[in-house]
Amino acid sequence: MKILSIETSCDDTSVALIEGNGDNVTLLKEAHASQIDVHKIYGGIVPEVAARKHTEVMSLLLAEVFEKQNPPDAIAVTAGPGLLTSLLVGVETAKTLSSLTNIPLIRTNHMEGHIYANWIEQEHDIQFPALALIVSGGHTELVLMSSHTTYKKIGETVDDAAGEAFDKVGKFIGLTYPGGPKISKHAEQGNPDTIKLPRPMIDSDNLNFSFSGLKTAAKLYIEKNPDLNIADFSASLEQAIVDVLVSKTLRAIAEHNPKTVVLGGGVAANKKLRATLTEKIDPLPETTFIAPHIPYCMDNAAMIGSAAYFKAQKDGYTDWKDITADPVWELPK
């Protein structure tokens, strides 16, 4: 089954053509436009600018991927969560295409896309129950899956997301948006034990996260130490974030006994996080750890196509007339 997928929830415009076969998804074609160069001037994403940029490139990207002679079996689009004006560009494009071609539509959640990035060109078997740790710029969540496309959110951040903490602290030390990848690069040269930063909620008796206190502690440290060593500071911040993410994941494994743990979201590209989860989960006799290939961690349409492929197996189609964008579409608790 071939699916054309569209992702515009934030600042990446992405169109992909994927093919699903059994339990595997392959990327056939992709066209992508990043807006980072525009948003870094403002130090973060400006929603109005993001939507305009999506509009400017959408038809060009679609023309690269859509094959009129060889149309896809379905069209998938991210309908939420995300920035409303950005989502609308993708949703209205998908509706128009579906109404003109009669190709059925699959309304897809951005977070399920991050989870299903793990099924793209994956050489390992993913077995259920599975536990997903999703860590992005807007979300930090633990989601339990009893079978394909069946979700139960069992933990989430009570304030900032992990990626947001990386980006905001990055801004305090003068790094351009997004700070996450830059902090992680600096961290490779630093010692994570030099600066004591808090690990909020690490011992709390639940699966929730909090990163706002860490952000404030990091800000205070920067103000008191203007000549800080950026590598040591980055390594210490990264270690604090990774410690909390890994500790809560291990707690969730102990409570729910998943057969597989999958990782997703932009922060899933972080080497330290991937290495630590591998190191802690690999020795567990009944649980396997899997992370998406790096290109499928950050926002991309292939992951949306992948999720849609598995939704299609359960008849997860929506008539184009009924498709709306939902900026606060959460996975069920």
Applying CB under 6 A, the residues found at the interface with ligand KG4 are 10, 136-138, 163, 166-167, 178-181, 184, 265-267, 269-270, 298-299
Return the residue of 299, 300, 306, 307 that touches Zn ion, per CB under 5 A. 299
**CA dist., res. 18 & res. 7, Å (int):** 13
* CA nearest neighbour of 106 among 150, 75, 151, 71: 75
HEC profile for 216-230? HHHHHHHHHCCCCCH
Amino acid of residue 82? G
Residue closer to Zn ion by CB (options 141, 299) is 299
- Smallest gap from Cβ 110 to Zn ion, in A, equals 6
Residue closer to Zn ion by CB (options 164, 232) is 164
Q: How many helices (H) and strands (E) does the chain have?
A: 10, 10
Residue nearest Zn ion, CB atom distance:
136
- Kindly state the number of chain residues that form the binding site for Zn ion, as judged by CB under 5 A: 2
> Which of ligand KG4, Zn ion, none lies near 184, with the C-beta cut-off 5 to 8 A by kind?
ligand KG4
183 by DSSP, 3-state: which?
Answer: helix
**CA dist., res. 169 & res. 165, Å (int):** 6
Whether 302 contacts 18, CB under 8 Å:
yes
Residue closer to ligand KG4 by CB (options 190, 266) is 266
Residue closer to ligand KG4 by CB (options 290, 298) is 298
> Which of ligand KG4, Zn ion, none lies near 166, with the C-beta cut-off 5 to 8 A by kind?
ligand KG4
- Smallest gap from Cβ 111 to ligand KG4, in A, equals 9
What are the DSSP calls for 234-266, one per residue?
A: HHHHHHHHHHHHHHHHHHHHHHH--SEEEEESG
Dihedrals φ, ψ of 274, to 5°? -60, -45
Residue closer to Zn ion by CB (options 73, 326) is 326
Residues 78-117: x where in contact with Zn ion by CB under 5 A, - otherwise, as a string: ----------------------------------------
Q: Token pair of 316, please?
A: 């997860």
β-bridge partners, 106: 76
> Which of Zn ion, ligand KG4, none lies near 267, with the C-beta cut-off 5 to 8 A by kind?
ligand KG4
Whether 209 contacts 156, CB under 8 Å:
yes
The yes or no reply on residue 136 touching Zn ion (CB under 5 A) is yes
Residue closer to Zn ion by CB (options 164, 299) is 299
> Which of Zn ion, ligand KG4, none lies near 190, with the C-beta cut-off 5 to 8 A by kind?
none
Chain positions contacting Zn ion, by CB under 5 A? 136, 299
